[in-house]
Amino acid sequence: MTWLQLRLYTQRDSVATLEDQLLACGAVAVTLEDNADQPLLEPGVGETPLWNQTRLTGLYPADSDMHAVLAQLPAQVLENHRVEILEDKDWAREWMQHFQPMRFGEQLWVCPSWLEPPHAGAVNLLLDPGLAFGTGTHPTTAMCLRQLDGMPLRGQTVVDYGCGSGILAVAALKLGAARALGVDNDPQALTASAENSRRNGVQQAQFKVALPQRVAMADWGQQADLVVANILSGPLVDLSDTLISFLKPGGDLLIAGLLSSQSETLRAHYTPVVQLSVVDQQDDWVCLRGKRPSAD
């Protein structure tokens, strides 16, 4: 079966109305995309912000009368419209092809569950893309995974603050850490993290997840040998006291989610307690690492 797709371009305020109009005149799906390279980084929980300039694509069955569809839409949105034929494919397979096993450092691999890990003897983390952030494809996650791979984690305790899919906490556990705590302000992320830890054979007692307001030091029971946080620069500044309070004297702090232009400000913010250095850079993103002194 082939499909017809109608592409339209509009401003943020008109998106909801136009989306309803496309569905009302027979679209089986409407896709919204950025039309002006305006990244929307990490929306708050429950927020679905839109781009100022948005491209809408309405998907119609091949036998749709597109002249009749266009006649029902306001003339001003049809200025640059395009109608294209979209050949049908095995879309699930197309999507799955994007996710191949990825290697991080010496021994760590992240593999989708539908493929055999390429090296049975490696540390293989099984993880499928889902609703929570963290598959290993983003530079910030990749840099943290490479750092984890090179750390002596055996027997260590780890806090993964902003755990998303749980990829960093579960990687640390698979690399030998004894216990981990995953914290996220998105309940969906906690569900995903717990599910991913089970899929990777992590014992329930080894991995706890919690919303930030439920995280009392008493629940977790101890300060961690390693605190890792891959969040954006703003939250990393706001959360500095919290992150440091989780970190044992002598423990490591690993931070990502900031651009290289933001690293000096962030380093200055943490310097009174932890001296952070840039340990990796991928594209414009940097990864910082430092040790809390043994006695503050």
Residues that bind ligand SAM (CB under 6 A): 42, 132-134, 141, 144, 160, 162-164, 167-168, 183-186, 189, 212, 230-231, 235, 239, 257
Q: How many CB atoms lie within 10 A of CB 98?
A: 10
149/160 with CB nearer ligand SAM: 160
We find the least distance from the C-beta atom of residue 127 to ligand SAM, in angstroms, to be 10
User: Rounded to whole angstroms, how far apart are CA atoms 250 and 111?
Assistant: 33
200 marked among binding-site residues: no
Nearer to ligand SAM, 11 or 185 (CB): 185
Question: What count of other Cβ atoms lies within 10 Å of the Cβ of residue 294?
Answer: 9
Q: Residue 231 or 274: which CB sits closer to ligand SAM?
A: 231
CA atoms within 13 A on the CB side of 293: 8
Q: How far is the CB of 87 from ligand SAM (least distance, A)?
A: 34
Min dist. Cβ of residue 108 to ligand SAM (A): 13
150 marked as binding residue: no
Secondary structure (H, E, C), 117-178? CCCCCCEEEECCCCCCCCCCCCHHHHHHHHHHHCCCCCCCEEEEECCCCCHHHHHHHHCCCC
In this structure, are residues 60 and 66 in contact, taking their beta carbons and an 8 Å threshold?
yes
Q: Minimal distance in Å, beta carbon 45 to ligand SAM?
A: 7
Kindly tell me which of 64 and 141 has the beta carbon lying closer to ligand SAM.
141
Smallest separation (angstroms) from ligand SAM to the CB of 160: 6
| Long-range pairs for 236-245: beta carbons < 8 A, 24 or more residues apart | 236/266, 237/265, 237/266, 237/269, 239/161, 240/269, 240/270, 242/161, 242/212, 243/159, 243/161, 244/270, 244/273, 244/274, 244/292, 245/217
Q: Residue 70 Cβ, how far from ligand SAM at the closest point, in Å?
A: 40
User: What's the start-to-end Cα distance of the chain, in Å?
Assistant: 67
Beta bridge partners of 206: none
Q: Output the smallest distance, CB 230 to ligand SAM, in A.
A: 3
| CB closer to ligand SAM out of 108 and 231 | 231
Q: Closest CB to ligand SAM among 19 and 160?
A: 160
- CB-based contact 144:112 (threshold 8 Å): no
Whether residue 162 is annotated as binding a ligand: the answer is: yes
> Would you say 4 or 229 has its CB closer to ligand SAM?
229
- 141 annotated as ligand-binding: yes
Consecutive H or E run containing 268? helix 263-270
In the annotated binding site for S-adenosyl-L-methionine, the residues are 141, 162, 184, 230
In the annotated binding site, the residues are 141, 162, 184, 230
